[in-house]
Structure 1
């Protein structure tokens, strides 16, 4: 990362920004593949160790509590000491958490594994900050879309890999996730260029450094975007935390209830949709509609999908409503994350993404517990309709908080 770029040099580098982010894509994709292996497995893995639906929700909540504590700290440390160093430390924590999960013979060790992973989490928020810092303002959305596309790649490959390995035993997928996490650490060290907090960003001048409190208080438009992200995180966490047990109770495949393999297929499908949205749809959507319209439509898609999921009697309808939910979630996350990044100075990207992750963690504390109570009492229709109602709140808030025209907050 150099300093003192002229306007002409800046323009020249903009064309190469996508190439410069290829190492970031690789690192995030490998990291996300490890996470994708764990996501469909964790509910059933924990259930076999005696976890109730509420305890499965608590596993997600305790991870979120740790994220809430660590998120801003990780973000600000990456602003101060550089993205790559903090990313490596974060990935080491993830690797240790996976190893503990693989050797866990009881729920205590499972909880400990999630605590360690949560306290050192920050991989995605730091990667988003790295991508924002290495892209021009005009290509910021595409750069963040590239990291989201890497997550989609991982969430496509990881669950599919989990479904294949679970045939050999419950711990095989977890060990595979640990190995991938180790590969991710090596890839970060080998592929990402060293950065330094004193370096100027490639594409923007840094703003003067006000106090942290003044910076946070002055982010009025960012707080509007964060309010919408909180709504999204809440409904997203309700959905992800109990979708496995919901499908297991309501649907069967080849004569047996949905299990880790089938849930892996659902997550792999979600990863495929993510890739389609990021690579083909997100930029084209902006040609025809503003970010406000996109977010409104995305929350509406989620509301329709959740409402339909409550009464879907067949696998074909399940696929239809899951598609609406997944497409809505992908558009909402990508659009709001890019809008949040654009609302903040370039040298505050780590802080704002860390704050974003902490607010996500706050939603992830309460939402899985609510989900666990509803699913634990077999209130499956209520579970889906509560999520539909939250998505409708997102529609209303998006109409109130986002500007009708780009660039006019």
Structure 2
């Protein structure tokens, strides 16, 4: 056993070793952040309707759902680094096709290729986890999450600046970043050796593992709350661009890619603020179940706000409530979900979580697109407010339930207690 005074040095060494992973993930996330605010307007120029834009998001999510288990299995068998490089090459091809598109068919093809080869971030998460000791694993995953937050702050801001030079300029910039990410992965990340005992986190769960979850009420309640969150978040992200463009103007012209880039950059800033400061401080003063209840209520209030407000200042307040609620719910529920099951059931529960998110990203954009296509802007916002209210009511209704202990599975009751 190492002396106690040696542990901080070892921790610092491992954190420094994760700097290449941070660079790779940050560059990838920046590329994605560039595309997010631009895609709806770019597709509109090629004749896309709001429903078609929803279908673009849905087909990408469907391809992710299909490819996810395959990418995971390949990374277990052949190593994270090699699969990460192939995934990044797919993203690069998708960006080049998107920048060169002269029809919606090519745009769909670009998103399908990108979706089928997606997995950059998830594989990088696994790489970071496997190349860190248990004592520093939380810091390792926090490093990759911080890289995503950084990329999602810088990317939309870059998109807003570059769109002034043409609608394809941000996409070519994303392609260049993708190429840089490939070079960084090859040059900075050391090869891994799956044959040395890599944990197969993507392997198909054993039947008894899935059956065990049936007697874990807290896990199923958390998954139910996550379903509501994924649905409302996907509805919001898939059509917020066209909603703002139709309802609001800035300096005499409707909201466009530049203004939406500013909104996404602001969301990235709040994400960094929540992850770095607010989430820890909030946990000191309230249990997670109350934090989730308040966060759902904030989202609902924000959606009600965008349904009725007309002034930019009130719109900014409503969007802030939505973004804050989103960040707190995502972080808190995901952490609680991980703590709701034993260590040997982590793969099963996180696999279910990923499947639910992908399913929501397939269904919700189509519903959202149908509403915006018919110019039912208030109905769209009120539908999201109602879904968020269901989340808050569900959380409130569970506060008074007695705690449940499952000694057969050796699980401690988590901070949600009644969840």
TM range (shorter): 0.7 to 0.9
Q: Does 1:153 align with 2:150?
A: yes
Question: Residue in 2 aligned with 1:275?
Answer: 272
Q: How does 1:351-370 map to 2 (within 5 A)?
A: 353=350, 355-370=352-367
Alignment equivalent of 2:290, drawn from 293, 303, 321: 293
CA–CA distance in structure 1, aligned partners of residues 230 and 14 of structure 2 = 29
CA–CA distance in structure 1, aligned partners of residues 69 and 310 of structure 2 = 44
CA–CA distance in structure 1, aligned partners of residues 21 and 14 of structure 2 = 11
Report how far residue 84 of structure 1 moved: 2.4
Q: Does 1:188 align with 2:185?
A: yes
Larger Rg: 2
CA–CA distance in structure 1, aligned partners of residues 269 and 155 of structure 2 = 11
Question: Residue in 2 aligned with 1:334?
Answer: 331
Q: Does 1:216 align with 2:210?
A: yes
CA–CA distance in structure 2, aligned partners of residues 232 and 332 of structure 1 = 8
Q: Does 1:107 align with 2:104?
A: yes
**Conserved 8 A contact 1:238-1:368:** yes
Q: Does 1:168 align with 2:168?
A: no
Alignment equivalent of 2:59, drawn from 62, 71, 77: 62
Shift of the 311–165 alpha-carbon distance from structure 1 to 2, 3 Å rule, reads: same
Question: Residue in 2 aligned with 1:234?
Answer: 231
Question: Residue in 1 aligned with 2:407?
Answer: none
CA–CA distance in structure 2, aligned partners of residues 241 and 206 of structure 1 = 33
Report how far residue 183 of structure 1 moved: 1.4
Shift of the 348–122 alpha-carbon distance from structure 1 to 2, 3 Å rule, reads: farther
Question: Residue in 2 aligned with 1:382?
Answer: 379
Shift of the 334–154 alpha-carbon distance from structure 1 to 2, 3 Å rule, reads: same
CA–CA distance in structure 2, aligned partners of residues 345 and 173 of structure 1 = 44
Report how far residue 137 of structure 1 moved: 6.0
CA–CA distance in structure 2, aligned partners of residues 396 and 250 of structure 1 = 30
CA–CA distance in structure 1, aligned partners of residues 353 and 74 of structure 2 = 15
CA–CA distance in structure 1, aligned partners of residues 232 and 255 of structure 2 = 22
Report how far residue 369 of structure 1 moved: 0.7
Alignment equivalent of 1:84, drawn from 59, 81, 88: 81
**Conserved 8 A contact 2:209-2:348:** no
Partner-residue secondary structure (3-state), 1:218: helix
Report how far residue 227 of structure 1 moved: 3.0
**Conserved 8 A contact 1:282-1:331:** yes
**Conserved 8 A contact 1:71-1:357:** no
Report how far residue 230 of structure 1 moved: 2.3
CA–CA distance in structure 2, aligned partners of residues 336 and 72 of structure 1 = 23
Partner-residue secondary structure (3-state), 2:415: coil
Partner-residue secondary structure (3-state), 1:27: helix
Partner-residue secondary structure (3-state), 2:194: coil
Bigger shift: residues 229-238 or 260-269: 229-238
Bigger shift: residues 125-134 or 232-241: 125-134
Shift of the 138–407 alpha-carbon distance from structure 1 to 2, 3 Å rule, reads: farther
CA–CA distance in structure 1, aligned partners of residues 171 and 179 of structure 2 = 13
Report how far residue 160 of structure 1 moved: 1.1
Report how far residue 9 of structure 1 moved: 11
CA–CA distance in structure 1, aligned partners of residues 219 and 77 of structure 2 = 21
Q: Which has the higher contact order (CA 8 A, sep 6+)?
A: 1
Shift of the 199–294 alpha-carbon distance from structure 1 to 2, 3 Å rule, reads: farther
TM-score by length of 1: 0.87
CA–CA distance in structure 2, aligned partners of residues 171 and 57 of structure 1 = 21
Bigger shift: residues 254-263 or 189-198: 189-198
